[in-house]
Structure 1
Amino acid sequence: MSSKFIVALISVVFPAMPAFAQQRLPPHATLIPAAEISLPGPADSNSPFVWSLDGSQVQVFTSIDGQVQQASGPTAFTVGTPTAVAWVLPPPGGSWMESVVRDQDVLYGYYHSEVTSPDCDNNGRVRPRIGAARSTDEGRTWEDLGVILESSELSLCDTPNQYDDGGVGDFSVILDADRTYLYVLYSSYGPSLASQGVSIARMAWADRDEPEGALAVWQSGLWLPASASTDSDGATAWTYPAGTPIYPARRSWHSADGIADAFWGPSIHWNTYLRQYVMLLNHTSTVAFNQEGIYVGFSARLDDPGSWTAPQKVLSGGGWYPEVLGLDPASGTDKEAGQEARFYMTGHSSALIRFERLPLTSPLRKKSQGRSGPGAQ
C-alpha cells in the first residue's frame, strides 16, 4: 500500500478539525478603585493627551463651554496650570478639542462645534458638527481647517431632546498603524432612528492639510465619499452620507415620551496588551442624556467596522465622556494604553480599568457537555 494512499485514507477517516473549532472570547474590562485625581482643567468632552517628540513633556487639552485649554508637564499627572489656546480665526459655534494627532512637529486637532440649525427658529437646541485644525507651535495656537463632517439630514426642530435637534459630534479619532487612514468614530443625532448611534468614517491621512470633503462614511459595508456642490456664493459645499451605525440606537434621541436607548460619545485607543482597539461608550436612557451606564467594545481591525464586539457593561450610571489614560512613560495617552490604565469620566478619575484576555473556547466541546446557563433544559 503506497504512502499516498495511507495519507488519503487517514484524511477521510479522521478529517481535520475545522478552523473555527476554537475561538477566543472577547476581552473583558473591570474597574479597580484608585485614589481620585482630576485633569488640570474642567472638561465636558473627551480630553486628548499628546507627547513631545523627545518624550520629555506631555500636553493635555481640556474643553468646556466651547473653550479649549492646554496644560503641559513631565508626566500626565504633573502638569501645570492650564491656559486658553489661541485661534487664528475661531470656528463658529465654539470648539471642544476631542482628539489630537502628532505628525512630527505639527499637531492636528479635531473638534466638536455647536451651531444653531438653519432649519429651526431659535429653538434652544444645537446642531453639532466636526471640524479639523492645525498647530505648528505645540498646541498654543490653532488654525481652523474647516468642517470635515456634518449631518445631511434636516434638523427636528420640535424635538424633545434636551440639547440636539440633529447633527453629528461627540467623537474620537485614531490613526491606523501604518498612518494611511484617520478613523473618526462619532455620535449621530439625526431625526432618522436608522442613522442614530455610533458610526465611523475615515480620511486618507495624506489629506490632513485639506480635510474638507475628504471623509468617507461607512454605510452598508461600503466607504462612501462626500458629494460636492456649489452654493450661491460659488463656494464648494459638501454633503456626507448618513452612516450605518456600529452601535445603533434602539430608541430614538427624539422620542416623544422622553425615553431613549442609544450609545454615544465614543473614545477609542489601541491597547498594547490586548493587541486590539478598545472603544468606551456612553449609554443613555433618556432624551436628556441621563446615563444608564458605561460600555466597552473591542476590534482587531479599524477597516472592518462590522468586527466590533457586542458592547459589554463596565459601570452602571457614571459620568459622561469615559476615556483611558495609558500609564507607560512617554507613550501612554488617551490613544494608547496597556493592561491597566486610568479610567476617566468628565475629567475625573477614581478608578483604574484593567483588561483581560479570556481563554480559548471550543464550541464543539461545549456542545458535547450540554447546555448551561439561563434557559438550560
Structure 2
Amino acid sequence: GGRSWTNKGIFIEDHQPRMILKPHNTSNTFAGGVGDPSAVASGKYLYLFYGEYGYPGIYDSASYNVDLERSGQCISVARILLSDLDNPAGKAKRWNGKSFNAPFDSIGAPIHSLQIPKSAGGGPASSPKGKFHWGPSVSWNTYLNAWVMLMAKVEGPSWQGGTIYISYNKNADLGNEKNSQEWSTPELLVNRPGHILWYPSLQPLNSAKDIANKNTCLKLGQKARLFFKDMHNDKAEYLSEYIVEFKK
C-alpha cells in the first residue's frame, strides 16, 4: 500500500546557479527548478513530462535576459530506460531541443508547441505578468488512439490562473525522439474567471466498460472524469464536476 514506497534517488534536478533571484524574480514564487511531473511508459522507456522553471543557463543579474528565460521554460520531457528503474539515479536524459542527450541535471529544452508565444502574452516564470502552461497530466486514450495532455496556465503571480488546457499527440510510440515533441497547440477546456485552477487530471469512470478494460489515469477511453484543484474565496477543493467525452 501507501507505506511501501522505496526511495530510489533523484530522477532529474536543477542546481543553484540556474535559480532566478531578485531583482528579476518578482512573481511571488520559487526561484526555478523542475516539478509537477507526469510519467508514462512507451516502448522501452519511461517518459517524464514536467514543468521547467529554471534559467536556461547560469543566472547572473548583470547579464539576465528575459527572452532567454522565457525560451527555456514551460513543459519539458525526460526519459529513462525501463530497465534502469531499479537503479535510476543519474541515468535519465532530458530533451535538449534535438534529442534526449542532456544529462539529468543539465539544461533541458521545453516542448515548443506548448509554449505561449510572446505575442499572446507568453512570458517567464519569474514575472508576475508572464503566461505559461504548467502541471502536465498525460494519458493514453484508446478511443482517439493518441496521447492526451492536460495542463494549467499561469496568468499572474503566485501561480494564478483560472483555465485548463488540453493537447494531443498522435504518435503511439514516443521512442522516435521527435515523436515526443509533436503535441498540438493547447486548446481551452475549462475557464473559471476569478478562480485558481491547478493539477488537472483525467480519471476513469466507475462504469462496467472502464472496469472491464482496466482503465486508469494512464489509459482511458472515450469518456473520462475530469479532476482539478479549485481555489476561490478562501476555499481550496479538489473537484470532479465534469465528464469529458472525446469525439473523432
> So what's the TM-score if we normalise by structure 1?
0.52
Aligned equivalent of 2:200, options 322, 338, 362: 322
The residue number in structure 1 matching 2:241 is: 350
SS at match of 1:264: strand
How far did residue 332 of structure 1 move?
2.0
1:332 to 215, 226, 231: 215
SS of 2:225's equivalent in the other structure is strand
Mapped contact 1:285–1:291 kept (Cα < 8 A): yes
Task: Say whether 1:285 aligns with 2:145.
Answer: no
Q: Does 1:156 align with 2:38?
A: no
Give the secondary-structure state (helix, strand or coil) at the position aligned to 1:320: strand
Alignment partners' CA distance in 2, 1:308 and 1:314: 16
- 1:272 is the counterpart of 2:173: no
What does residue range 77-116 of structure 1 map to in structure 2 within 5 Å?
Answer: none
Whose strand fraction is larger, Structure 1's or Structure 2's? Answer: 1
- Matched to 2:99, the amino acid is L
Q: Does residue 263 in structure 1 map to residue 133 in structure 2? A: yes
Q: Deviations over 1:75-126 (max 9, x none)?
A: xxxxxxxxxxxxxxxxxxxxxxxxxxxxxxxxxxxxxxxxxxxxxxxxxxxx
Q: CA deviation at 1:345?
A: 0.4
Counterpart contact for 1:279–1:297, Cα < 8 Å:
yes
Distance across 1 between alignment mates of 2:33 and 2:11: 13
Please report how far the alpha carbon of residue 221 of structure 1 lies from its aligned counterpart in structure 2 after TM superposition.
2.0
Following superposition, the deviation at residue 239 of structure 1 comes to: 3.0
Letter in 2 for 1:245: I
Contact 2:222 2:245 in 1 (8 A): yes
Pick one of 141, 147, 161 that aligns with 2:10. Answer: 147
1:190 aligns with 2:66: no
1:189 Cα shift? 1.2
Change (3 A) 1:166 1:187: same
Match runs of 1:223-302 below 5 Å: 223-226=100-103, 239-246=105-112, 247-249=114-116, 250-255=122-127, 258-301=128-171, 302=174
Instruction: For 1:156 and 1:225, locate their aligned partners in 2 and report how far apart those are by CA, in whole Å.
Output: 21
Q: 1:324: Cα distance to partner?
A: 0.5
Hey, what's the Cα distance between the residues in 1 that align with 2:162 and 2:115?
16
> Would you say the 8 A contact 1:263–1:281 is kept in 2?
yes
Match of 2:83 in 1: 206
Give the CA deviation at 1:292: 4.0
Q: Distance in 1 between matches of 2:190 and 2:239?
A: 15
Q: Which runs of 5+ in 1 are unaligned?
A: 1-137, 227-237, 358-377
1:221 aligns with 2:98: yes
Inter-partner Cα distance in structure 2 for 1:345 and 1:275:
24
Query: RMSD between aligned alpha carbons?
Result: 1.7
Q: Which SS does the other structure have where 1:332 is aligned?
A: coil
- The question of whether the paired residues in 2 share the 8 Å contact of 1:163 and 1:288 is answered with yes
Q: Which residues of structure 2 form unaligned runs of 5+?
A: 56-68, 117-121, 230-237
Deviation at 1:161, TM superposition (A): 2.5
Distance 1:151 1:260 in 2: 21
CA distance in 1, matches of 2:169, 2:242: 24
